[in-house]
Amino acid sequence: MNEIELQYLEPKKKVGLIVVITGHGKGKTTTAMGIAVRAAGYNMKVSIIQFMKGDMYAGEIDGIKKLAPNIEFHQTGKGFCGIQGNPYPYEEHRANAQEALNLVEGKMLSEDYDIIICDEINNSLKLKLVDLPQVLALIDKKPPLLHLVLTGRDAHPEVIKRAHTVTEMKEIKHAYRQDIEPQKGIDY
């Protein structure tokens, strides 16, 4: 079998994109992780900051470590605020989300990264763990060549308006609704 020579494309003009991955279907974080894996293939530097989750193990935690030093992973949350019996008070969730915002801003302004992924920031905004002016200011401070990825359900219309690319994940069918527990490697 003959090997095909792969072509490498290079855009004529480089632009740092704002990408929003939202909706009520499964796969928002998984899509963002796919972006990170793709970027690692180009030797790009990626920082992933999770605004929520963080109270349960997920395979991406150790999977991402295998891609270091190109990709780093920060869990700042303490689970999903107000659901699934999460024991932490709202104030603690908000304080963690505020720390995540500060972490994103510091990494963004360092200009050491090609992509920053703000996982579950849309949920954090909906739950008022972060405020709309804070998120819009973060978008406004984005260096011109940095790609900024914002995930989570219920993306705010103003965030969507400022994005270059928006994908809405729509649930058509989910195993959970068939009383099938989340499955390792697929759901977490």
Three-state DSSP at 61 gives helix
Q: Whole-angstrom Cα distance, residue 81 to residue 87?
A: 9
The total number of residues written for the chain in this structure: 188
Question: Do residues 86 and 117 lie in contact, with contact meaning Cβ atoms separated by under 8 Å?
Answer: no
What confidence score (pLDDT) does residue 135 get? 98
**Element holding 39 (H helix, E strand):** helix 28-41
Q: Whole-angstrom Cα distance, residue 79 to residue 85?
A: 10
> Could you give the dihedral angle defined by the CA atoms of residues 150, 146, 11 and 155, in that order, rounded to the nearest 10 degrees?
20
Average pLDDT by stretches of 10, the chain with 188 residues: 85 96 95 96 96 80 91 85 70 92 97 97 95 98 97 98 98 90 84
Residue spans of the domains in the chain: they are: 18-170
What confidence score (pLDDT) does residue 37 get? 96
Q: Whole-angstrom Cα distance, residue 174 to residue 187?
A: 11
Token pair 């998984």 is found at 30
Fold of domain 18-170: Rossmann fold (3.40.50)
Full-model pTM:
0.91
Q: Whole-angstrom Cα distance, residue 161 to residue 64?
A: 30
What confidence score (pLDDT) does residue 158 get? 98
Question: Do residues 107 and 113 lie in contact, with contact meaning Cβ atoms separated by under 8 Å?
Answer: yes
What confidence score (pLDDT) does residue 177 get? 87
Number of H helices, E strands in the chain: 6, 6
